[in-house]
Structure 1
Amino acid sequence: MGALTQLLRRRKFPYRIVSVLSVFVGVYWFLQLPTNEHSRGTYMSENALMPGQVHTYFGGTESMIFRAYHHEVEALENATSTRRVEMLGKIMKDNGLEVGRQKYTYEASGEVYKGENVYSILQAPRGDATEAIVLCAGWRNAEGELNKAGVALTLSLGRYLKRWSLWSKDIIFLITEDSRAGPQAWVDAYHDMQSTSVEPLPVKSGVIQGAVAIDYPHKNFRAYHLMYDGINGQLPNLDLINSLIKIADNQMHVDVKLQEMWDHTDSYKDRLRTMARGMVNQALGHSSGAHSSFIPYHIDAITIQMTGENGWYNEVTIGRTLESICRSLNNLLEHFHQSFFFYLLMHPHRFVSIGTYLPSAMLIAINFTITAIGLWLESGQPKDKKEKDKNPKPEITESEKAALDTSVESSNKTTEIATPSNDEPLIVERQLLLPVTIVVAIHALGFLPLYLFNNLDKAALTPVFYAFTVFSSLLPPVISLALRPLAPTAQTFTLIKSFSLLLLGLFLSTLATINFSLSFVIGLLSVPFTFTRFLKAGIFERILFWGVIQVLSPMMALELVAKYWGLPVGDILMEAAFGWKVWGMWTQVVVFGVWWPAWIAAQVGVWSPLSGVQRD
């Protein structure tokens, strides 16, 4: 440790080189994940599930009943919510199930989201109402389409599964108003966590062990599209996903697609694209389907979306698939726990676990911490040798040496007298008050956009967003110029950058264990913040650098997300506000509480009012 301390204090610690290497190694590590050497084939960890090991009987008779229910659903397409719920509840009650209804109302961005859910409970003949399985179908799916076949199939399964006496877990058949607010209202009320604008549930069952949502707007289809991303990047247990894939492949002979990769060739490129698409969804933290609302309550859930109109598969295929999944979930002796909860899927049969992919995000986060430590050490170094001469080192007098020699002889020990080395630099006193105040103020200012974008009305979101973009662009030079009366030094701006990067590295390394995708994306976009310098050059060079750093702003990232989804920025902000109010999404906290302050602080030194500032 003594040698390391001397190395650091002599300014020989190549922290910039180490930072660059950590970033390159982190990116290289990530790019190696799709290879066979670093990824693994999927496998079942919970043997009790036994997916695809039972014979399914959902067949011709149930198909006719499904078509009758499909006709009933079509007749209710233009009916009021109350009329629709009454008719669906009547069908469930006629099938011998206990029925419940629930109304809810949410408000976000000045818009009101209200509706009514209806559900029924099949009480397990061999159970004691302590555990349950949920089959869910939104009246409209996430794209706003009428989920005709999905609702009809849910009603058909309620009638069909009631005939079996093998169930040890209750089965809840849930039909929600939509696939966004409805499932959230129901699952919140199921756990008595609903807001005052959401009605409690009149009847309940036991602990929900698993949930499967059905997105089935058209009768015929070609493949299953499996959606598994939860709110804030949470994921269901991998065994549930593997169960569906195994049933689809081995029992139903249906292809399973992930992340809208319709033509996956299992090449490196397709694996990387699938993994990257999943990371984008997890980084955004939004709901990808009706299943997403269940995952925060530690309920493993997925959505099965039927894709490809006019395909050769129909309701019998998906009916048997759901029957087989329910049989597997019915076999569970305890909650999902054996397989992975943190993973990245790159193919239906290939994944990487957290132990393999986590170092890539950690290496990028460490880059900020290393640079922060290096800047802290530099801030305590003298500017030149003249400062050393102004502060001569203390010398040990002859009397002090004699006293030391006497002490050594009396203890019969050999001790070397430590004398200051002429090569050892002085430590300059650090003025911490101003840098700490600025960094804290910038982070506190992040509450302003967080409050505005989560509480403004829909019409005000877009103009306020662009006004805030202009404000953010002008804030760094304004801060730098406002510091002129306080006579800041090069040390001041070095410490501002050091503290900002230290916080950024701390937050991102912690976030990587919770939401790897969000940590990795923000860390990668923030890497240039590490290498910003105080410029000696004129205003032109400063403006040029300022223009480059604007591309890495959170506002520009939001523009890219809007372009990726093909939506206006205002709609993206509405979705974020809805997620904040309804889903409990906290992506905005990371963006405006971590990323945006670091982006601002990285530019403050660029607009330093000092003339000829020493490079940091």
Structure 2
Amino acid sequence: MAETEPVIKPKPRPIIRIGLFLISHSLLVSVVCCTAGIVALLLLPVLAKNTYVSENALMPGSARPMLTNDDASDGHKFLNRILNLDSKPINTGIEIPEVIAEHMMELGGEVSYHKFQPISNKFHPLHFFLGPDAGIIKENYSCSSYGINTVGIIRAPRGDGKEAIVMVTPYNSVRITMGEALSLGIAYSVFSLLSRVTWLAKDIIWLAADSKHGEYAAVAAWLRDYNTLSFGDLMLYQEMCDASTSPVHEMIQVKGDVISNGFRRAGTMAAALVIKVADSSPEFGNDVLNIYAEASNGQMPNLDLINIVNYLAVHGQGLQVRVEKIWSLLDSLWLNSLGKLLELLGTVVKSLNPQWKFGIPVSDYVEGCATLASSLYNQALGVPTGPHGAFRDYQVDAITMEMSPTLFSSSQRVLFLLRVGRLVEGVIRSVNNLLEKFHQSFFLYLLTSPSRFASVGVYMIAFALLIAPLPLVAAALFADASKLKTAKDEIPFKPAPLGEPVPIFTSWKWLYAAKSVLAVHLWGAIVTLLPYFLSQIPNSSPSINLLIWIVLSLLSLFFAYAVSGSFSFSSTNQPQINEWALLKSVTVAAGFIGLCLMSVINFATAEIGALLLVPMCLTVVPLRLDVKVSTMRAFLRGACNVLLVFVGFPPAAFLLLKGAIDGFDSVTFGDFWVWAELLWAWNSATYIYICNCLLGICLYELLCPSLDFLSVAFVLLISFRY
């Protein structure tokens, strides 16, 4: 008989061989990737680039400022009149809008009043994705409680009315402060100049926002009516109030037809500037300009808008520009030590090749890390840092410019109005040069200083390195758990002879794991909705609300566990390692998908979540398995698991972070409820991610993405169940 030739199996493709190699060495790859990801994150201040203006049409500083001392003096007279009104013994809040409208008309602007009602900020699940100004009117509404925005519009002599630039000056009509009066004086000086120039190609809108119900609420209400033909508020107002006796009606009757009772509009908004003046800052030797840019869910304006403001403020008016930073990090010992190491490394690299630029001074690195941490936190929080956030909801680039002058003396006010007015004039002139919306520069970036940034192509490297081990670990665990195990030994899968029982291929048990993960996600949805009912409790303190939230969540977890039993595979009491590995594999895969999806919605939230999630995914194992093994390695691993659970426990993590920043003397138990309330009141996607998505990963002893406050109770329940 002829010998049969051996069958030569084809070699797998190179990409498959690389994948199998990485899966087989998943532990080493995970350690290397996690370490590289953390190092890359710490190197972002070093890798940050200097800002630059991408759009050549902006041409900041190409023209000399036209704002004169006379314009600044007129602005000073205007703010003095506002302050004199506020000093009267009886102030109804109507006099200031009337004076603002009168001065707008004298400058030739088209003036109108905008009425809006206060908005409730209570958590409501049906309005969660509609924005914080979802039209929920506060209870006990009265005609005297509405706010009045004053709007003035200058039509551009060289424009066609299709585009506009907005100036916003928030002020409290009931009790105005010196800073708010100064911001009105700045806007009046610029408005006076722009009413006379001939180069204006875009309409100018001056919104004097009545902020007695909040700065954001006033701006958001006006934007909502500006972008939608909404008649619901007017009908509601006519039904509830007698228009013939309203103060706004009286003001319109006095001024005749000059002030419109209707809603006036200009063109599509190209950009918006919120002008604010804070308290004086004598600790600085010069006037300070603070820039706030973060909007809802981590949205940022086009970087060119910040660039032109920073360029004109520094090089045009000699102002000191700052962005928000975490001040406590400036005195961090480990951060200063790391900065010294990087500075020394940069010196060595430069000695090898002078063209290699690596390393920055210690002070710049520490300040860059403090600014980067603040930028990450504010974007991850998902809460706007000012009324400019209302514009980003309509895809309009906007920032808040908050001035902190050195002194408030009368002799310095005119000079202050002149400097800041010229800055606003220069920004408006640059935006006026644009032929289209901002699009050349970055929308995804992290600031390390007013003049340095890390683009999306740089900071995505750290995130990619952090989450890279998750699919490898999931595949390795799935490969191990999918092997068939018998009572004695492990045998390969093969078809059973006819008449014999067919062995169960255990890899199909991932369906049970997926069912368990889905069950916990549904439980997470219940936990997410509980604050809606708790917010109905009258006169309840944050500590009591948080305690009730925890108790109700635990009870719902116990009920779900007792009814469905979805958190277990086997009816035996012996821990089955292959089943645990399969469950962990599915959970790690779900965590990886959740992080990738969250990076599209809010990258900063995904970045911070990965820092807590990935170490847990790689180290946390069932506690009972470590308890049974009396070795030092098992003890250290169990202690590490407990530490990671504690750090990932949201109230503990939040309170530890707040204590490290503000001091532990100011930390209370109810602070976490206040923080969570801030998230859901502003409809931050981070709240949904913490309470629902990451909670679904909290299963069995796998606490890998445990950012939910029930993680500790859940790990104890599942650990001792087996």
Q: Which TM-score band (shorter chain)?
A: 0.7 to 0.9
* Residues 545, 673 of structure 2: 8 Å contact kept: no
Which of the residues 202, 205, 208 maps onto 2:269?
208
Distance 2:530 2:58 in 1: 47
Equivalent position amino acid for 1:273 in 2: A
2:399 aligns with 302
Shift of 1:516: 2.1
CA deviations on 1:98-123 (whole Å, 9 max, x unpaired) are 12222333112387795332211111
1:278 aligns with 375
Which of the residues 691, 697, 703 maps onto 1:592?
691
* Residues 480, 607 of structure 1: 8 Å contact kept: no
Distance 2:673 2:530 in 1: 13
Q: Secondary structure at the match of 2:290?
A: strand
Aligned residues: 575
Residue 371 to residue 477, structure 1, CA distance change in 2 (3 Å):
farther
Distance 1:28 1:384 in 2: 45
Which of the residues 70, 92, 100 maps onto 2:104?
92
Distance 1:272 1:6 in 2: 40
Q: Secondary structure at the match of 2:151?
A: strand
Distance 1:293 1:208 in 2: 13
Structure 1 residue 576 corresponds to structure 2 residue 576: no
Distance 2:456 2:443 in 1: 9
CA deviations on 1:132-152 (whole Å, 9 max, x unpaired) are 0011111159xx966221122
1:150 aligns with 183
2:255 aligns with none
Structure 1 residue 69 corresponds to structure 2 residue 150: no
Distance 1:9 1:384 in 2: 26
* Residues 151, 207 of structure 2: 8 Å contact kept: yes
2:12 aligns with 2
Structure 1 residue 372 corresponds to structure 2 residue 474: yes
CA deviations on 1:446-466 (whole Å, 9 max, x unpaired) are 223332335624744722323
With 339-348 and 319-328 compared, the bigger mean Cα shift is at: 339-348
Shift of 1:478: 8.5
Residue 265 to residue 239, structure 1, CA distance change in 2 (3 Å):
farther
Q: Secondary structure at the match of 2:469?
A: helix
Shift of 1:207: 0.8
Residue 609 to residue 156, structure 1, CA distance change in 2 (3 Å):
closer
Q: Secondary structure at the match of 1:314?
A: helix
Which of the residues 526, 529, 537 maps onto 1:451?
529
Output the TM-score relative to the length of structure 2. 0.71
Identity %: 24
List alignment gaps of at least 5 residues for structure 2: 1-10, 124-137, 140-144, 238-260, 331-360, 498-503, 704-713
2:340 aligns with none
CA deviations on 1:399-450 (whole Å, 9 max, x unpaired) are xxxxxxxxxxxxxxxxxxxxxxxxxxx9634324432222112112222333
* Residues 108, 578 of structure 1: 8 Å contact kept: yes
Distance 2:63 2:31 in 1: 55
* Residues 49, 332 of structure 1: 8 Å contact kept: yes
Structure 1 residue 128 corresponds to structure 2 residue 160: yes
Structure 1 residue 436 corresponds to structure 2 residue 549: no
Shift of 1:265: 8.1
Structure 1 residue 521 corresponds to structure 2 residue 608: yes
1:533 aligns with 621
Q: Secondary structure at the match of 1:55?
A: coil
**What does 1:378-389 correspond to in 2, within 5 Å?**
378-383=480-485, 386-389=488-491
Residue 171 to residue 392, structure 1, CA distance change in 2 (3 Å):
closer
Distance 1:392 1:53 in 2: 76
Structure 1 residue 176 corresponds to structure 2 residue 209: yes
Distance 1:316 1:7 in 2: 65
Distance 2:569 2:541 in 1: 36
Which of the residues 37, 59, 63 maps onto 1:26?
37
Shift of 1:307: 1.9
2:258 aligns with none
Equivalent position amino acid for 2:121 in 1: A
2:595 aligns with 508
Distance 1:256 1:9 in 2: 52
Residue 485 to residue 383, structure 1, CA distance change in 2 (3 Å):
closer
Q: Secondary structure at the match of 2:682?
A: helix
Output the TM-score relative to the length of structure 1. 0.83
2:571 aligns with 487
2:310 aligns with 245
1:554 aligns with 650
* Residues 484, 609 of structure 1: 8 Å contact kept: no
Structure 1 residue 351 corresponds to structure 2 residue 457: no
* Residues 326, 373 of structure 2: 8 Å contact kept: no
Residue 543 to residue 272, structure 1, CA distance change in 2 (3 Å):
closer
List alignment gaps of at least 5 residues for structure 1: 397-425
Backbone CA RMSD of aligned residues: 3.8
